[in-house]
Amino acid sequence: MPGFGDYFGHSLGHGVGLATHEGPRLGPEKPVELKQGMVVTDEPGIYIPGLGGVRLEEMVLIEEDGPRVLTKDDHFYDFDG
Split the chain (81 residues) into runs of 10 and give each run's mean pLDDT: 74 86 84 92 89 89 95 70 55
The answer to whether residue 45 is domain-embedded is yes
The answer to whether residue 44 is domain-embedded is yes
**What's residue 18's pLDDT?**
84
Distance, in Å, from the CA atom of 69 to the CA atom of 64, rounded to the nearest integer, reads: 14
| Residues facing 25 on adjacent strands | 14
**What's residue 45's pLDDT?**
87
Total-model pTM? 0.75
**What's residue 1's pLDDT?**
44
The answer to whether residue 18 is domain-embedded is yes
The answer to whether residue 52 is domain-embedded is yes
Which among 13, 77, 6 is positioned nearest to 48, based on CA atoms?
A: 6
Domain that holds residue 33: 5-69
The answer to whether residue 37 is domain-embedded is yes
Contacts of 27 by beta carbon, 8 Å cutoff, 6+ apart: 11, 12, 13
**What's residue 33's pLDDT?**
92
**What's residue 20's pLDDT?**
73
The answer to whether residue 79 is domain-embedded is no
Q: How many separate domains does the chain show?
A: 1
